[in-house]
Structure 1
């Protein structure tokens, strides 16, 4: 598979703590890449390093053969990268419709309302008044509306019912983009629609497994 974006020997530090220890991780084009691991394993730091919201202390970020390590997050977004963090992913003071309008300025967000019908009666509500699950649906909708080539989503199913979580993954897998998600464990029911799925398990800032879902070792 063609590599869309990758980390090469990437290290990330938060003060004296090193969160990523020289990680090499490739994101294939047209695939769903799943980062799994417990809290503190480094999966969120991988997303942030790719998105450019945290700097590397060593290593490189390479996007389609171009070194973008020094490129700030907003420039990566302009080039076609969308990052949905696990926290503060919506604009609390704006309505649901206004949040969606930021991703679809022409107001064409009917397809996400078809995917998440629970958002339709909430269009006039301020995002800050929504439940955690409703905010997650709204945040993921931003990625679904984006024309991005790379979509990064931290815990897309957080706070969602199993049926809505499954629908969320169906919608993400239908995107014409390289999609990377971070979850504590492998979501059930993958893959969707025949899309290739690559799993990387992280532990204490290092990749301890890379492969297909069926090859993932059974937890002890």
Structure 2
């Protein structure tokens, strides 16, 4: 498989704290990859490093083999990568419709919104939405953007079960029907996500503890 994104020996520090300890992981092109880990495991930092919103203190970020470690986040975005962080992923002072239009770069008819629940909220200011509605809007923005590579940090956080299932369905369709590359960070590999997943990486305490296919047994979690 062609590798779309990769971390090679990636280390990231926040002051004296090292959040990633020489992480190596690969994201295959045109597939869905899941990055697992508890809070504090380094999942979010790994996504930020790939997106360019944190800088490595050692190692490399590669995009299709090219070293993009020093490429700014806005240039990576311009080159077809979209990052959905776990918070502040939408413009709170704009309406739902304005948020969608900015991402899609043109007006979007309500019937084309991937979540029917958003169709009645188009005139609402995004900052007034519930947590689950905000996540639906954030995922919608990513899906309707022209980006070919999607990085999503806990995209289903706060969603109702039906919306969670819909989100995993949409991400699977983005891979199967559009050949997009999707990497999402989650705490668990939920049953609804497993069928669409090609590769699983698990981080523990800033290091890769497991890499493999979803049908393989993950090693038992260590205490702490």
TM tier, smaller: over 0.9
**Structure 1 equivalent of residue 124 of structure 2:** 125
**Structure 2 equivalent of residue 179 of structure 1:** 182
1:30-45, aligned counterparts within 5 Å?
30-45=30-45
**Structure 2 equivalent of residue 101 of structure 1:** 101
Structure 1, unmatched stretches of 5+, are none
CA RMSD in angstroms comes to 1.4
Query: Counterpart of 1:39 in 2: which secondary structure?
Result: coil
- The 3 A distance-change label for structure 1 pair 219 and 94 is same
**Structure 1 equivalent of residue 64 of structure 2:** 64
- The 3 A distance-change label for structure 1 pair 111 and 62 is farther
Cα contact 1:81–1:151 (8 A) shared by 2 = yes
Whole-angstrom distance in 2 between the partners of 1:125 and 1:204: 40
**Structure 1 equivalent of residue 211 of structure 2:** 210
Alpha-carbon offset, residue 162 of structure 1: 1.6
Alpha-carbon offset, residue 150 of structure 1: 1.2
Whole-angstrom distance in 2 between the partners of 1:58 and 1:34: 24
1:157-172, aligned counterparts within 5 Å?
157-172=156-171
**Structure 2 equivalent of residue 11 of structure 1:** 11
Query: Counterpart of 2:211 in 1: which secondary structure?
Result: strand
Query: Counterpart of 1:189 in 2: which secondary structure?
Result: helix
Alpha-carbon offset, residue 196 of structure 1: 4.7
Whole-angstrom distance in 2 between the partners of 1:92 and 1:196: 32
**Structure 2 equivalent of residue 74 of structure 1:** 74
For residues 95-127 of structure 1, what are the alpha-carbon distances to aligned partners after superposition, in whole Å with 9 as ceiling and x for unaligned?
0000001111221354652x2011001000000
Query: Counterpart of 1:22 in 2: which secondary structure?
Result: strand
